[in-house]
Structure 1
Amino acid sequence: MEGKKKLKKSKVIKIDSQKSWDYFITQANTKGYPVMVYFSASWCVPSISMNPFFEELAFSHQDFMFLRVDVDEVKEVASKLEIKAMPTFLLMNGGAPVEKIVGANPDEIKKRVDGFICSTPSQNSI
């Protein structure tokens, strides 16, 4: 069975309610690490195409919390944060949005995450 990749456990946390959103944002704030949120929709082709990229990003940035929110399942969160297009990526720190990237643009997302890391003091690993 050579050539087969081992399945990695996802580092992305799926948010399924306002309650789970509040819980994980509070956890991130308490522990002092930034959050990268991926707002998507199951019917959105660009969102679906970004799933593997977001999983890889989560593996390569262990000092972030990665959350995925389906805008149709958790409308309250998407509405509160004024998410109007999918996919949208939101970088948060201290519970507040820092960067918003709209669209399926892996290079720009990686650049913004790396830029954020360079501009902040070192974080504790999750």
Structure 2
Amino acid sequence: MFLSFTWIRSKSILANLKSLLAQKQQQKKEMKGQKQLKISKVVKIDSRKSWEHHITDATNKGFPVMVHFSAYWCTPSIAMNPFFQELASTYPKVLFLDVDVDEVKEVGSEMEIKAIPTFLLMNGGAPVDKIVGANPDELRKRMNYFIIQKNSPQPM
């Protein structure tokens, strides 16, 4: 009798452990999925050195660069962040950078940023287009226009 009770009890404990293990594995999968969703395609620039590195790297690889000049306290800049992330996912061959003008003042000055948000499209390390203000439609339109121009054959 004691043996069968112990056997039944251990079988119950084993079933509980399997159930707990399955729950933990499911939680782990869900957390992994959440982490993958949170991976940003926008690079945060926190120093002049970081700026120079990313611009040089993109230039050497032939990638255009779209820069969002922002500030942590600027509501329109914050409101544009999700759209900017979406653009970054849409254009994988464009480097997307985020520069807080209060953190990296010298870059904002060098690029002559007078208002935020400002979006600067660069190619070959040089600015080719500037959009001032939070206007997602205009930003997408200009990005599409640039990509079409860049990919169309050039006359000789």
- Shared fold (TM-score, shorter chain, > 0.5): yes
Report which of the two structures shows the higher radius of gyration computed on alpha carbons: 2
What does 1:16-55 align with in structure 2 at a 5 Å threshold?
16-55=46-85
Q: 1:103 aligns with which of 133, 149, 155?
A: 133
Aligned mates of 2:93, 2:38 — CA distance in 1: 18
Aligned mates of 2:117, 2:84 — CA distance in 1: 11
Structure 2 letter corresponding to 1:78: G
Structure 2 letter corresponding to 1:86: I
Q: Deviations over 1:41-73 (max 9, x none)?
A: 001010010010000100011010000000000
Q: Percent sequence identity over matched residues? A: 67
The CA deviation at 1:8 is 3.7
Aligned mates of 1:61, 1:121 — CA distance in 2: 13
Structure 1 letter corresponding to 2:136: P
Structure 2 unaligned runs (5+)?
1-32
Structure 1 letter corresponding to 2:91: H
- RCO (CA 8 Å, sep 6+): is it higher in 1 or 2? 1
**Equivalent residue, structure 2, for 1:90:** 120
**Equivalent residue, structure 1, for 2:105:** 75
Structure with bigger strand share is 1
**Equivalent residue, structure 1, for 2:23:** none
Structure 1 unaligned runs (5+)?
none
